[in-house]
Structure formats: structure tokens, C-alpha cells
Structure 1
Amino acid sequence: MEMQESMMGRGREAIDMIVDAGSFQENTVGAKSFDDPDFGPGAVVGTATLDGMPCTMIVSDADAFNEKFPVVYAGIIGMEEGYKMAQAVYASIEADAEKPLAEKRPLVLVVDTPGNGPGKVEEIFGMNKSTAAYQLALAEARLKGHAIIAMVIGRAISGAFLCHGLQADSIISLDANYGTMIHVMPLTSVSRIIKKPLEKLEEISKHSAVFAAGPRFFYSLGGVGSLVDNVDGMRPAIIARIKEVQAAKAEGKQDTLGPWGRGALGAERGGRVERPKILALMDREFAAVAEQYAPAR
């Protein structure tokens, strides 16, 4: 596998690789302006056009450092970043609230993050509420008809990927030859939590996509919808996927998108073959006792 120059830490550069030339307006989304440059510097938000369509860009900037929170650097999504990203989503929803489905602006998330900022101060202030607010905002935008596409250019790791990526309708990733890394939890942490030797997990990860890391394994699990093998392919891939997502929503096929759709896609690709069996078993077991819990009439 020939390695390409990494895009890690190049979130701002990726914006110009994706949107129409010269169209990005930072810190403005609909009627909302982000006037404080020191608030959530690790989050870049703004409005651009993409193939002529207005869109909202939400980008993790690995070159930024939040001086108020020393653990927020190198693309980590901290408390302020989570709230800033959430505000950009809600501003997008409000701006298009009266527009028909076909005219609701897409949201493009450029993902390059090693995780959340779990500093003591952030935990005390409630960083979990910040990241949850961002997840909720994206889920609301998705259900209101906005097409949300996540483009992984570097790292997509842990709880930060959960809020900045996994709520998208569809996830696209640069292939592994760019050093792209996707995983929910490193094997060292998995080993401590499930109390299994690290060596055993490393052996399992060689043939099990559930324990392995990287965009190709996530593709087999359905977590990544498509892989892009060069940076010039990011823009056309995003444009094409936006149109596909918009068409699916217009046809009422929302269940083929987002987290639920990724589960079905993983089953089709052979990476999550047990999931449909477990869902079917749960449905049968619930049906067997449902009458006991039916509302009184």
C-alpha cells in the first residue's frame, strides 16, 4: 500500500479542497455570528457553497489551541468546541426552518479529532453536556431533512467521533493510505475494561472488524459509507452523497441513513452479521410479553 501525504492536522486546508472556490465565510451561519475568536478555537464553523448549494461547514482544527483548557489541542473537541458546533447546527436549522425539504442546506463535517478533552475542569463544568448537545443538534437537523455528511480526513476517535461524525447521514473517509485512523476505543482501553489480555485482542483484531481499527474495517462494519482514495476525490464524493441523501429523504427512506442505516449496511457487507439476528430475537421476545405492558384501557 503506497502511503500518501497525510491530511492529519489540515482541517482548514480541507475546506478549500471541498467547497466552491472563495465561498467560505467563517463564523457566519444564517443569522448567527460567532464574534469571539477565543471561544472554541478548535472548532471552525461557517457558510460556503458546494456545487452552488449553500452549506454549513463544521470542521475540527488540529492546529488550534484553547488557552483556557490546556487539554484541548491537536484537534481534541472540548467543552467550548462542542457548544460552538451545536450552535452552528441550530443556526442552520433556524435559517432553513421555512424552506421545503429540497432547499434545506447540507451540513458537511470535516473530521480530524483524537477525542474529547477530559480535563478535570471540563468534567466539573459538564463537558458531557456539551458533546451531548452537539449530538442532539445533529440528530435534530438530520430528522428535519438536512443532509449531513461527515468527511474523515485524519483521526476519528472515541467520544469526539461519536458527536462529530457518527450522527451524520453518511460518512466518507480518505483511505488508509493517508494514515486515516478510525476507532471508538484503543485496544489498550478495551483490554482494561473487558479484562482480556491485550495480546489476545491484538490477535483477534487481525480478522475481526469489530476489534480492528482503520477506515477499511469501519467500511466492512457499515460505519463508513464509502472510501476515497485521493484528496481530489473528496469534493465529488461529498456532492454525490449529498444528492443521494436528499433523494432518500424526499422518498421517505430516512431509515436507510444515519446510525440505523449503517447497521443495515454492515450486515450487507458481512461485517455485522449477528446484528439482524439479535434484533429479530429481541423483537420476538418483546412480542411475547408485550401484552403485559400494554397501556390500560
Structure 2
Amino acid sequence: MTPAKSLTDILASLFPEGHAVSVEEGLIAGDGPFAQGRIKVIGIDGDTPLGVEGALTLAGHVLDTVRAGGRTPILVAIDSDSQRMSRRDELLGLNEYLAHLAKALLLADQQGHPTIGLLYGHSAAGAFIATALATRVLAALPGANPSVMDLPSVSRVTKLPLEKLQEMAKSTPVFAPGLDNMLATGAVHAVLDPAEPLRPQLETLIADLPASDVRDRLGRERGGRPVAEEIADLVSSRLRAV
């Protein structure tokens, strides 16, 4: 598997003239020149788990961008572990903090800020859902390794043998980890070319940003989720009829 680029390489490719993005305790924050203005950059680096404080910090950066007005794009760069598996975080209600971060990104999107995820390393579980999957579209670099739940964990929850799940994963992308499966289900919108400058690729993604969530359609077209779009449309139509 081709290794994904480091954050330093990514920032250099996005901002050849320099930037104001830094990393503190695994959290990415800052901005850089982009198009006719600037782009906000937040995220997680170094396979860092996302805990209560991290979720609040990232959400704060997003909400500050929304309060500032305009249509500043927000790039969410991700190389994380899962959510922080600590008793303290769970007792403090980590799920609510993760939901707050996801809702902050959804609010930014609703307020006209293009939100783009860029997965360049690992990410899993709640951290993946609350960051990369909460953006309008998610791009990835070759070598990225996302999963909502790894197969050993799926085995523990479902009580199915790991060997059976591994065999099922070969033909059922919807629960299988890995970039190829996330691409097939439509969760990953596009895989960028690391051999080419990333800035024009990101500019194209923003220029072609879909007006609505197209992951169900992509999943149908790519064969990873063949009936999700149909079921979602049916549920929506039934709700509208109530």
C-alpha cells in the first residue's frame, strides 16, 4: 500500500507560499491563503485519539469561523485514532462532545462554508464520524486507512467468527474497513493524486461541491451500497407525507 503523505507535505502542497497552520497535542488549527481569500484548516494528526477537550477545541474553531461570517472554506485534515477510550471521557459524556463537533461542521455547511474532509492517515469509530464524515465531501490520499469499526470489534459485537467476517468483507463493503471499501460505499468522495499539487485538486473539489449529500447515490453507482439511496428516498417520501 502506498503510504499517505505527512501533514507537513500536505500543507506544503496546499500552501506553497506559506501558511499559519500548527499542531498542538495532536490537534491541527490555523489557516492559509486560498483562491481569493483564506481557508480554515482544522483536524487531528499523528494517530491521536479524540477526547472531550479535543472535540471542544475543534468545534470552537469551526464556530469561530461561522461567527466571522463570509464563506470561508473549512478543511478537516484527519490522521486520528478512534475516540479516546478512557473511563473519564465516557463519564463526561464523550458521545455528546463528538456530536457537538459534528453538528458544528454541519452548521458551517448550512451557513455557506464549504466543508471538505481530507483523510491522509488512519481514523476510526467516533473520531472518524465526528470529523471526516461530518463534512460535505470527504477526499483521501492513497494509503489512508479509515474504518468505522475494525473487524475484530465487529466480531465481538455480532458474535460472528472473525474468519467469517473477513470472508464477508470481500464482497460486502458496507461494513468492511479500508479506503477501497469507503470509496465503494460513497463515504469517500474522491481519492487525490499525491504526485500532483494538492491545491488545484482541492479547488476543483470545492468548485464542484454537490448541493446536497450524494453519498447514497455514489454508493449505488459504485456498487458498495446498492439499495441505500432507494431506502432513504422511500423513508423521506413517507415522512413528507405525514
In 2, the alpha carbon distance for the partners of 1:287 and 1:54 equals 39
Q: Deviations over 1:239-291 (max 9, x none)?
A: 1111222xx5xxxx3x2x3xxx2112211222211213333554676688x4x
In 2, the alpha carbon distance for the partners of 1:25 and 1:282 equals 42
**CA offset at residue 127 of structure 1?**
2.0
Q: Deviations over 1:122-145 (max 9, x none)?
A: 122222222111111001001111
Compared CA separation, residues 193 and 287, structure 1 to 2 (3 A): same
In 2, the alpha carbon distance for the partners of 1:50 and 1:89 equals 17
User: Percent identity between the aligned chains?
Assistant: 27
Alignment length (residue pairs):
242
User: Which segment drifts farther, 15-24 or 183-192?
Assistant: 15-24
In 2, the alpha carbon distance for the partners of 1:285 and 1:59 equals 37
* Structure 2 residues not aligned, in runs of 5+: none
Compared CA separation, residues 120 and 16, structure 1 to 2 (3 A): same
2:208 matched to 1:208? Answer: no
In 1, the alpha carbon distance for the partners of 2:88 and 2:42 equals 25
User: Secondary structure at the residue paired with 1:145?
Assistant: coil
Task: For 1:45, give the aligned amino acid.
Answer: A
Compared CA separation, residues 281 and 86, structure 1 to 2 (3 A): closer
Q: Which residue of 2 aligns with 1:85?
A: 58
Q: Please tell me the root mean square deviation across aligned C-alpha atoms, in Å.
A: 2.2
Task: For 2:223, give the aligned amino acid.
Answer: G
2:22 matched to 1:15? Answer: no
Q: Which residue of 2 aligns with 1:139?
A: 106
Q: Which residue of 1 aligns with 2:2?
A: 4
2:166 matched to 1:168? Answer: no
Q: Which residue of 2 aligns with 1:272?
A: 225
* Structure 1 residues not aligned, in runs of 5+: 28-36, 63-73, 291-297
The 5 Å alignment of 1:274-289 reads 274-282=227-235
User: Secondary structure at the residue paired with 2:223?
Assistant: coil
In 2, the alpha carbon distance for the partners of 1:225 and 1:159 equals 19
- Residue pair 1:113, 1:160 contacting (<8 A) in 2 also: yes
Compared CA separation, residues 287 and 59, structure 1 to 2 (3 A): closer
Q: Which has the larger radius of gyration?
A: 1
Q: 1:183 aligns with which of 125, 147, 169?
A: 147
Q: Deviations over 1:74-130 (max 9, x none)?
A: 42111111111000000000111xx3xxxx100001111121102111122222222
**CA offset at residue 14 of structure 1?**
2.6
- Residue pair 2:150, 2:176 contacting (<8 A) in 1 also: no
Task: For 2:17, give the aligned amino acid.
Answer: A
Compared CA separation, residues 209 and 95, structure 1 to 2 (3 A): same
User: Secondary structure at the residue paired with 1:166?
Assistant: helix
The 5 Å alignment of 1:240-255 reads 240-245=204-209, 248=210, 253=211, 255=212
TM-score normalized with structure 1 length:
0.74
- Residue pair 1:19, 1:51 contacting (<8 A) in 2 also: no
- Residue pair 2:151, 2:177 contacting (<8 A) in 1 also: no
Which is strand-richer, 1 or 2?
2
